[in-house]
Amino acid sequence: MPLYKTQTLKIYNSLSAEKEIFTPINEGNVGMYVCGPTVYSNVHLGNVRTFMSFDVIFRYLKHIGYNVRYVRNITDVGHIVDDIDEGEDKIAKKARLEQLEPMEVVQRYTVDFHEVLKLYNFLSPSIEPTATGHIIEQIAIIKKIIDNGIGYIANGSVYFDVVKFNETNHYGKLSGRNIEDMLANTRDLDGQSDKRNPQDFALWKKAEPQHIMRWPSPWSDGFPGWHLECTAMSTKYLGNHFDIHGGGMDLKFPHHECEIAQNEACTGQTPVNYWMHANMLTLNGNKMAKSTGNNILPMEIITGENAILSKAFSPSVTRFFMLQAHYRSNLDFTNDAILAAEKGFYRLMEAVASLKDIAANATSSISILNWQNACYEAMNDDFNSPILIAQLFEGVRFINLLKDNKETISETDLTSFSSLMKGFVFDILGLEDEKAIGNNNDKLEGVVNMLIQMRNEARANKDFAMSDQIRDQLLEIGIQLKDGKDGTSFTI
C-alpha cells in the first residue's frame, strides 16, 4: 500500500490563503507545473532556492508513492520578462552585446542552468518544454480567447480585456487585488495607446522591424505575451485542470493572476487546485542586485571566488542551509549563517555514516515509531523542512546514545531506523555525503567545465587576471587546463 494512503498531507494554498488537505484530481497521480528560468544570464541564487523548494516537494510526493508528472519550462523568448521592463528584450540585448545569435544566448544559459542544478543535486523534471517550442499552442489559445469575447485585436497586437473578463469572473483573486487598484501590465510603453484599459495585458505583440525573435500569426509577425507561455505548456502536458502550480512569490502578480484569467477565458474552468509560492532570498539583509555588488552566483559559492563569503562551500552545505528555512519564509544568506549550517551538515553526515558501526541488540530500549511519525508530520505540514531537520537531529541524538551504549536497539529496529534516516536525508532532502561527492567523477567534471566556461568568459571580457587566477588555482589542486584549437580540456 502506498504511503500516501496513510498520510494526511496539507498544502498552503495561495488561492485560499489556508492550509488545505491535499487531494489529487486523479488518485495516485499528481500533476505539478513550476515556472522555469528566463535564460538570458546565469541562474541566480534566488532561482536556485525556488527550484530547490519544488525539488523537495517533488521528492516527497514521489516518496509517499504518488506518480508525479513534474513540468518545469524554459523561457527562451527574450521579451518575456517584467512588464515594466523598457527597451529591447533581454535575450536580444545580450546577443547584441556578445555578438551572438539569440539562440546561442539561450543555449549557453540553458546549459548553465542545467549544470548548476545538477551540481546542487536536483532531480530532473518529467518534462521541460520551451516557450519557443509551443508558439502554435499559444496562438490557438489566443484564438479561443478572442472567440469568447475576452481578447481584442489592435494594430496587429492582441490584448486581454481585463474589464470585460471581470464582469463574470474575479481578476485578482489570487493576489487579493481589486481591478481598480491595478497598475498597467504592458511591457512596452509604445503599446499603451492600443489598449482599451490600462489593466489589459498583451496576448500577442506585433514585432517592430528591428525585433529579432518573431513568428507569423493571424494578426501579425510578432511574439506571444509574457503570461501566455505557461498557460500553453501547463495545460498541454497536465490538462486544463491540474493539481499544483508553483513558482516564486514575485510571480503571484501579475504572472500567475494572468494565467488564471487566460485559462478561465479559454476553457471556462479554473486551471489549478493548489497554488504554491516560494519566498524570497536576501543577501546580508538586503535584496540581491548586481548593480550594488550585493550579489553572489551559485557557482561562486562552490569556487569561493566572491567578495561575500570567507571560504568556499559545497553544494550540499548550501542546500542544507537553504532547507533550514521553510519555503514560504524569507531567508537571509550570510557568511555566519552558512558557516553554522556547515557544522550542522557535517554533524548529520557523520551520524548517518556511523550507523553501519552500531551493533544491534536482542531488544530495543527506545522506540523509533514516535520519531518516525514526527518526521512525516513535519513534511505533511506543508513540506516543513526545518522541522524535519530538527527531527533528524533527534535521530542524531539517538545514534550518539547507541554509540555510547546508553541505549540498545534490535536488528529489526536498526534496519528500519537506518532506512528512515537515509531516506529523509538523501532521498527527500536531496543531500549528498561529501565523501561520495569527492569520489564522483561526473560531478568533478561538471565543476571543472563550469570553471572553464567562467575562464572563457573572463578572457572574452579581457579580464586576464581572473582567467589566469582560475587556471593557476586549478593547477594548485592538480587540475591542468590545456587550450587547443577545439577549446579547453583538462587533465588530473
pLDDT digits (tens, 9 = 90+) for 317-361: 999 999 999 999 999 999 999 999 999 999 999 999 999 999 898
Q: Which residues contact 370 (CB under 8 A, 6 or more apart)?
A: none
For residue 167, the model assigns a pLDDT of 93
What single-letter amino acid sits at 31?
A: G
For residue 412, the model assigns a pLDDT of 93
Residue 144, exposed/middle/buried by CB under 10 A (0-12, 13-18, 19+)?
A: middle
For residue 56, the model assigns a pLDDT of 98
Q: Span 197-205, mean pLDDT?
A: 92
pLDDT grade, residue 487 (50/70/90)?
confident
Render pLDDT for 447-478 as a digit per residue (tens, 0 to 9). Answer: 888 888 888 888 888 888 888 888 888 877 66
For residue 463, the model assigns a pLDDT of 84
Lowest-pLDDT choice from 80-94, 285-299, 329-343: 80-94
For residue 182, the model assigns a pLDDT of 62
For residue 447, the model assigns a pLDDT of 81
What single-letter amino acid sits at 343?
A: K
Please give the residue that has the higher pLDDT: either 341 or 86.
Answer: 341
For residue 243, the model assigns a pLDDT of 98
For residue 192, the model assigns a pLDDT of 52
Question: To which H or E segment does residue 237 belong?
Answer: helix 228-238
Q: Span 112-133, mean pLDDT?
A: 97
Question: To which H or E segment does residue 435 belong?
Answer: helix 434-438
For residue 224, the model assigns a pLDDT of 93
For residue 78, the model assigns a pLDDT of 55
Q: Which residue has the cell 479554473?
A: 270
Pairing between β-strand 151-154 and β-strand 157-160 as defined by DSSP bridges: antiparallel
- The mean pLDDT value of the chain amounts to 89
d(CA 435, CA 441): 12
Residue 73 pLDDT more than 80?
yes
* Strands laid side by side in the 67-72 sheet: 67-72, 29-34, 242-248, 272-278
Residue 228 pLDDT more than 90?
yes
Pairing between β-strand 29-34 and β-strand 67-72 as defined by DSSP bridges: parallel
**Cell numbers representing residue 313 in the block:** 562551500
Render pLDDT for 161-194 as a digit per residue (tens, 0 to 9). Answer: 999 999 999 999 999 998 876 644 444 444 456 8
Percent of all residues in the chain with a pLDDT value above 90, rounded to a whole number: 70
DSSP state for residue 182 in the 8-state scheme: P
Instruction: Give the number of other CB atoms < 10 A from CB of residue 363.
Output: 9
pLDDT grade, residue 438 (50/70/90)?
very low
Residue 85 pLDDT more than 50?
no
Please give the residue that has the higher pLDDT: either 486 or 30.
Answer: 30
